[in-house]
Amino acid sequence: MLKILQNIDRRWVFLSMLLAVAIPVLAKTVFPVNISPQTMMVFNAIEDLPEGSRILLSYDFDPASQGELLPMAQAFTRHCSIKGHKQYYMALWPLGPPMVDLSIDTIESEYPNLVYGEDYMKFDYKTGGEAVIRMITQDLRGMFELDSKGVSLDEIPMTKNIKNIQDMDLIINVSAGDPGTKQWVQFAATPFGITTVSGCTGVQAPQMYPYIPEQLAGVLGAIKAAAEYEAAIDEVYPSIASNPKAQEAKRRMGPQLVAHSLMIGLIILGNIIFFVSRKRGLA
């Protein structure tokens, strides 16, 4: 038995992981969600702003992280839309603008009363990463003369009076790496005191915690926090709770639970094999 386990083909491990992810996805298993204080900090940062506040949403991720970050990005969009905040979208990653387009699609399909240019707008992608942040903290038009549709910022009602992003009430950054939350903290939140919240990947989250609460008003780390955020929104806004598209992160917690449990099982099994082998002088 020990020999069989020691020489187990790794394709069995791959197959078990495939089943661990596929079964909950196909069964559409949804588990209860407990909202953590960290998530409530992010929720309150948006919720406590008065209607019509200006929020800059920077989507600094690409399709590789879409599975982990898009649900929270969409939750940010729904929360800002239902609260009636002015939403300014941008992206520091070359493949970020299509991610923004998905949020714009959500606004257009779920909040048809919101008007482009009055309630939400989108800046186009500009190369430069942190240099873009540095520039727009001083001079927005120095970097973006036009919006993504080619309209001058002076002709757009929600941008004509904006000089730079110091005029924003909140920055929401959805980040998968560099440039991302770290750069927003270094070049916008810290020097100019602009309230900033972040939604980031699980790998990035531990690096963001030291910035709380002075430089970051809150962090959503990975899909678990996104599910908690969805739950927090659902509690306050029942209209969003009844929207199946707004429950994406909660749905993804099912595969996460089974996959993580499988990982624990594999670690335990691997260690049992290791210790038994060592005891028998085989390791």
* Residues near another protein (CB under 8 A): 8, 10, 13-14, 16-18, 21, 31-34, 36-38, 62-67, 95, 97-98, 101, 126-128, 131-132, 134-135, 138-139, 142, 148-151, 202, 205-207, 209-210, 221-222, 224, 253, 256-257, 259-264, 266-267, 269-271, 274
Return the number of the residue (55 or 249) whose C-beta is nearest another protein.
Answer: 249
Q: At 59, give phi and psi (nearest 5°).
A: -100, 95
221, containing H or E segment: strand 218-221
Q: From the CB of 135, what's the least distance to another protein, in Å?
A: 5
Q: From the CB of 281, what's the least distance to another protein, in Å?
A: 16
Tokens of 135: 């520039």
Q: From the CB of 131, what's the least distance to another protein, in Å?
A: 5
Q: From the CB of 142, what's the least distance to another protein, in Å?
A: 6
Return the number of the residue (81 or 201) whose C-beta is nearest another protein.
Answer: 201
Q: From the CB of 83, what's the least distance to another protein, in Å?
A: 27
Q: From the CB of 268, what's the least distance to another protein, in Å?
A: 8
Return the number of the residue (55 or 159) whose C-beta is nearest another protein.
Answer: 159
220, containing H or E segment: strand 218-221
User: Per 3-state DSSP, what percentage of the chain is helix, strand, and coil (rounded to 5)?
Assistant: 55, 10, 30
Burial class (CB in 10 A: 0-12, 13-18, 19+), 167: middle
Return the number of the residue (84 or 270) whose C-beta is nearest another protein.
Answer: 270
Return the number of the residue (82 or 257) whose C-beta is nearest another protein.
Answer: 257
Q: How far apart are CA 246 and CA 241, in angstroms?
A: 7
**DSSP per position, 87-109:** EEEE-SSTT-HHHHHHHHHHHHH
Q: How far apart are CA 41 and CA 38, in angstroms?
A: 5
Return the number of the residue (55 or 132) whose C-beta is nearest another protein.
Answer: 132
Other residues' Cβ atoms within 10 Å of the Cβ of residue 205: 19
